[in-house]
Structure 1
Amino acid sequence: MKKLISIISVSFVASPIFANSASDNKSAQSASINIKSQPNIVLIYADDIGYGDLSSYGAKQVNTPNTDTLAANGIRFTNAHSAAATSTPSRYGLFTGEYPWRRRGTGVANGDAALIINPDRVTLPKVLQQMGYTTGAVGKWHLGIGDKSGEQDWNGHVTPGPAEIGFDYSYIMAETGDRVPCVFMENQRVVNLNPNDPIHVSYKENFEGEPTGKDNPELLTKLHPSHGHNQSIVNGISRIGYMKGGRSALWEDENIADSITVHATRFIERNSDKPFFLYFGTNDIHVPRYPHERFRGVTEMGHRGDAIVQFDWSVGEIVKALKKAGIFENTLIIITSDNGPVVDDGYHDGSVEGLMDHKPWGPFRGGKYSNFEAGTRVPFIVHWPERVNPNVSPALISQIDMTATMAVLTGFEKTDKIPDDSQNQLNAWLGIDISGRDYIISSAGSLSILTRVWKYIEPSSGRSYNPLTNTELGNSSDDQLYNIVTDRSEYENVADKNPQIVEEMKKLLDFEKKKGINLEL
């Protein structure tokens, strides 16, 4: 018991277990790291793919051969976590290295939200830019764009955006699939926009004469909403928010994967003669799920299962492009997801009926939006033929470490500009260290803190269950403590049996809450 308590003690600064934590860990150059050249870096960031959604992680009802091949020839992590249980805050943590719960305004962003990342701060793409990388962002964004929410001029150059936080090139969805405006933006201008048909967006009221899913269900030719998502209709699917105009620029949902995959592979082709970083944020498998017709029906799991196969196809196209360019061996590929799974997230798409024995959450409890483990425990695959040997790693790792780890990998020296939340975990990524972090903090309304043995969820007044998404949210007015090794499904709350552990976890969480408050870079 004393040993367990020492692991989570707030006096960890003096503990050898925590000696290389936080900022010290960011700058530590392990003697075992000997990088011959700067690798190309491809980060494939899936949307809503859960721990149990890939066949390499145990799925039986769906096959993901392209992803599985990378997992079999790289390192497949079994204890990796996103920074939050929803999209926007996870991406914020990914690019800034700062826990999103430290910052107001990092919740799920509306389609007309301003850019939530301060352009003046150090970010993951800026680190790589300074180290000579050409940087590109392709696919889902959902971090806001422009300087004022609701005041963007969608018919011109919208700034600040990807360029201001470090991307040399961007081809992104304006925000996310179920929110207007439903257009692509290339280098922060709407693609294929007819200036005689300008775009107007509102999240307050509809535009006169524009149909909605609520009032005009007869116009919903592709999907019907199950809850919410009943405002403006775009391409036969109703969305969140109101939009008019921009008809020539609207995407077709079944072509989103093709469009962003083509632009991702073109970025690889254009930059194959120099180091590059590609952030490839897939729309799959976020709602509205409406895969291309060549994928519809390839599983018996409805659109959700078919979208997983479509995601895997995109992974295969990235690999093909890298091999064609002759740079596959020296490319670091990371595949992970922004949060855990959800089945019905607002549309009738056959996913609930087709779930069968498939368990998107794997052996864990909860899912997207949840404090329970499936909210943030996600697939995480590292593939780098020149440096990584095939393995399965139990190391505790977090996407919050992306910035600090990439900084060490590439030799970035201004590590004092990277938040202490982000730690250098390169040895874990390379399979040298199978322990990883001492603890991580996750957010889903309330906060939880996870070590390699214990998980503590702080008391919350939030509801415990969301009937719309059929998700256990993990909120309780009581302290919750789980031995995550012996009870990974989090069904036995042992807080009453371990008051000292609870007290230490609370102190550590309180310490983290107090440090870095109002941190500005």
Structure 2
Amino acid sequence: MKKTVLASLIAMTAMSSNALAADTNTTNNAAKPNVVIFYVDDLGYGDLASYGHQIVKTPHIDKLAAEGVKFTQYYSPAPLCSPSRAGMLTGRTPYRTGIRSWIPDSQNVHIGWGERTLAHMLQDEGYNTALMGKVHLNGGSHMTEHPQAKDLGFDYSFAMYAGWQKNKKVETPNADGSLRHGKIYPDNFIRNGKAVGETNDYAGGIVADESIQWLDTLNKEDPFFLYVPFPEVHTPIASPQKYLDMYSDYITDFAKKNPDLYHWDWKGQPYRGQGEYYANISYMDEQVGRIVSKLKEIGEYDNTIIMFSSDNGPVTREARKTWELNMAGETGGLRGRKDNLFEGGIRVPLIMKGAGITANSQSHEPVYGLDIVPTLSEMVGFELPTDRVIDGVSFTSAFKEGGEVTRTKPMIWTIDMPYQDDPINEYAVRIDDYKLILDRDGNAKYLFNIELDPYEVENLVGKADFKAKVEELSSAYKAYRAEIEQDDILLHHYAKPKA
């Protein structure tokens, strides 16, 4: 990334806007491309074969990478699921949307009613829109005072609103206190507002089935937006035996003898090995492949923009909760994991395929989830809302070899984790190669040069040579934070409108 001074970029905005308008007008005169977004839960930067995993097999996702562009410095909007999803779908820093952390079931927290999502924007362009998988932008489907899938711009939904897969049969403790066993077939899917009830398959397969069936019902004259936020690979993980057999060398004898032992009962039990986690990734990969195959079957693959990414970093072997035991997420050696602002918590895979993207290419340009909406705005040809702040920018320039992205504000990440023993990281801000992590009081805690030190080993805070850099990034953070806290949509359009 070429070194620039952030302030000087503001003068370039008018030129960039004129170029974007020209591109958008060109796109509007052509057939609209379809959009498919695969958004996986808790998948780490190093969890795919195409991102360096030496054991896990992900042939379908790797093929997408071979036919598109792979980003090596893509960041999720936040290190936890709810704020990440809010940021990606709106192009706005999650704190603006009313979501500061993950949302427990029945908690009175939700995305603001005034927010406009990517689905709303594409609906306005005549797109059929569908959501298949995990929503996690409200307290649950039973909380009708919160925006539901339809309110978020989705004509059709097959949604799991809670934070993880449910299965009442195995969630209910055994009366005699013995360990619980049972396949994790979810029973909390809601189809277009109506409960589906018990199912007889694992979550990823059900989501893929529903997606394929929906694609079969479409009027081929209209473009479509299919958003597939898979519940995998969030705990509790569960996969068909075929995939467990693929990784039998990495599954312990205890796990093989107790394949259906429920995750909440893993505490105090023998280690299960990494194989079950690997199996879940390959199972998810197969479901991506099934949906892609359907796009080809109906003749829409070549006219579809496909994006594959993750909502945040992985649960590594450093389990912090009972339900995180025996996970084996990989960050590619990056520091941190899900729930913190070190690279391992926010740097995740991004693969994109579509018109204008060179096959089998790679970009090292720093981009993040808030850029998805502006990027698709340029690729599809729709206007961004003008009545609110959009924090991201288009990164179509990064589709070209060595292409750079112009920003007029720093990249910023937020996460509210007051219940942690050491809640040091609530904000992070990046300008050029430097990233500053600040605590809840706005005190600078860590400064890293990410280009020279991607593993965040050398903390530059407190070193005399970098005092000015800390002050520069701290000032940028303070200005950005003040702007977020005065956001008009957040202050005035959070509550449900009166009928």
Once the 2 structures are TM-superposed, how far is the Cα of residue 25 of structure 1 from its aligned partner? 5.8
> One-letter code of the match for 1:425?
F
> One-letter code of the match for 2:405?
G
Deviation digits for residues 21-49 of structure 1 (CA, Å, limit 9, x no counterpart)? 6x996775165675442111000001110
- Pairing partner for 1:379 from 341, 349, 374: 349
Identity %: 27
* Contact kept in structure 2, 1:92 and 1:106, CA below 8 Å: no
**1:503 & 1:214 partners in 2: Cα distance?**
57
**2:293 & 2:286 partners in 1: Cα distance?**
10
> One-letter code of the match for 2:232?
D
Residue pairs, 1:102-113, within 5 angstroms: 102-113=96-107
Q: CA RMSD in A?
A: 3.3
1:414–1:335 CA distance, 2 compared to 1 (3 A): closer
Give the structure 1 partner of residue 215 of structure 2: 268
- Pairing partner for 1:512 from 469, 480, 483: 480
Once the 2 structures are TM-superposed, how far is the Cα of residue 457 of structure 1 from its aligned partner? 0.6
Residue pairs, 1:168-247, within 5 angstroms: 168-178=155-165, 212-213=172-173, 217-218=177-178, 220-222=180-182
TM-score in terms of structure 1 length: 0.76
Give the structure 1 partner of residue 386 of structure 2: 416
* Contact kept in structure 2, 1:125 and 1:165, CA below 8 Å: yes
Deviation digits for residues 37-94 of structure 1 (CA, Å, limit 9, x no counterpart)? 2111000001110100000000001110100011011000001011100000001111
**1:292 & 1:52 partners in 2: Cα distance?**
23
Which segment is superposed worse, 259-268 or 65-74? 259-268
* Contact kept in structure 1, 2:312 and 2:345, CA below 8 Å: yes
TM-score in terms of structure 2 length: 0.79
SS at match of 1:296: helix
**2:482 & 2:98 partners in 1: Cα distance?**
15
1:503–1:363 CA distance, 2 compared to 1 (3 A): same
Structure 1 residue 452 and structure 2 residue 441: aligned? Answer: no
Residue pairs, 1:247-262, within 5 angstroms: 249-251=197-199, 255-262=202-209
**1:144 & 1:181 partners in 2: Cα distance?**
20
**1:81 & 1:331 partners in 2: Cα distance?**
23
**1:340 & 1:483 partners in 2: Cα distance?**
20
Segments of structure 2 that go 5 or more residues without pairing to the other structure are 189-193, 251-273, 417-425, 490-499
**2:79 & 2:174 partners in 1: Cα distance?**
29
Once the 2 structures are TM-superposed, how far is the Cα of residue 442 of structure 1 from its aligned partner? 1.4
Give the structure 2 partner of residue 94 of structure 1: 88
**1:346 & 1:141 partners in 2: Cα distance?**
22
Give the structure 2 partner of residue 129 of structure 1: 123
Once the 2 structures are TM-superposed, how far is the Cα of residue 287 of structure 1 from its aligned partner? 0.3
* Contact kept in structure 1, 2:140 and 2:161, CA below 8 Å: no
Once the 2 structures are TM-superposed, how far is the Cα of residue 236 of structure 1 from its aligned partner? 11
**1:307 & 1:85 partners in 2: Cα distance?**
21
SS at match of 1:362: coil
1:459–1:236 CA distance, 2 compared to 1 (3 A): closer
Once the 2 structures are TM-superposed, how far is the Cα of residue 247 of structure 1 from its aligned partner? 11
Residue pairs, 1:257-296, within 5 angstroms: 257-271=204-218, 273=220, 274-296=222-244
Segments of structure 1 that go 5 or more residues without pairing to the other structure are 184-209, 224-233, 240-245, 462-475
Give the structure 2 partner of residue 201 of structure 1: none
SS at match of 1:49: coil
Structure 1 residue 152 and structure 2 residue 151: aligned? Answer: no
* Contact kept in structure 1, 2:203 and 2:232, CA below 8 Å: no
1:136–1:385 CA distance, 2 compared to 1 (3 A): same
How many residues matched? 439
Once the 2 structures are TM-superposed, how far is the Cα of residue 111 of structure 1 from its aligned partner? 1.9
SS at match of 1:66: helix
**1:478 & 1:452 partners in 2: Cα distance?**
18
> One-letter code of the match for 2:213?
R
- Pairing partner for 2:111 from 101, 113, 117: 117
SS at match of 1:320: helix
**1:431 & 1:214 partners in 2: Cα distance?**
58
Once the 2 structures are TM-superposed, how far is the Cα of residue 432 of structure 1 from its aligned partner? 6.5
SS at match of 1:457: strand
Give the structure 2 partner of residue 167 of structure 1: 154
1:383–1:519 CA distance, 2 compared to 1 (3 A): same
Give the structure 2 partner of residue 469 of structure 1: none
- Pairing partner for 1:435 from 394, 404, 413: 404
Once the 2 structures are TM-superposed, how far is the Cα of residue 152 of structure 1 from its aligned partner? 3.5
Once the 2 structures are TM-superposed, how far is the Cα of residue 387 of structure 1 from its aligned partner? 4.6
Deviation digits for residues 473-510 of structure 1 (CA, Å, limit 9, x no counterpart)? xxx97531111111111111112220000000000111
**1:235 & 1:317 partners in 2: Cα distance?**
20
**2:291 & 2:83 partners in 1: Cα distance?**
26
Once the 2 structures are TM-superposed, how far is the Cα of residue 351 of structure 1 from its aligned partner? 3.4
Once the 2 structures are TM-superposed, how far is the Cα of residue 181 of structure 1 from its aligned partner? 8.1
SS at match of 2:157: strand
1:379–1:280 CA distance, 2 compared to 1 (3 A): same
Q: Which aligned segments of 4 or more residues in structure 1 are displaced greater than 6 angstroms?
A: 234-237
Deviation digits for residues 276-318 of structure 1 (CA, Å, limit 9, x no counterpart)? 0010010110000111233223222322111100111011011
Once the 2 structures are TM-superposed, how far is the Cα of residue 450 of structure 1 from its aligned partner? 1.8
* Contact kept in structure 2, 1:222 and 1:236, CA below 8 Å: no
Give the structure 2 partner of residue 84 of structure 1: 78
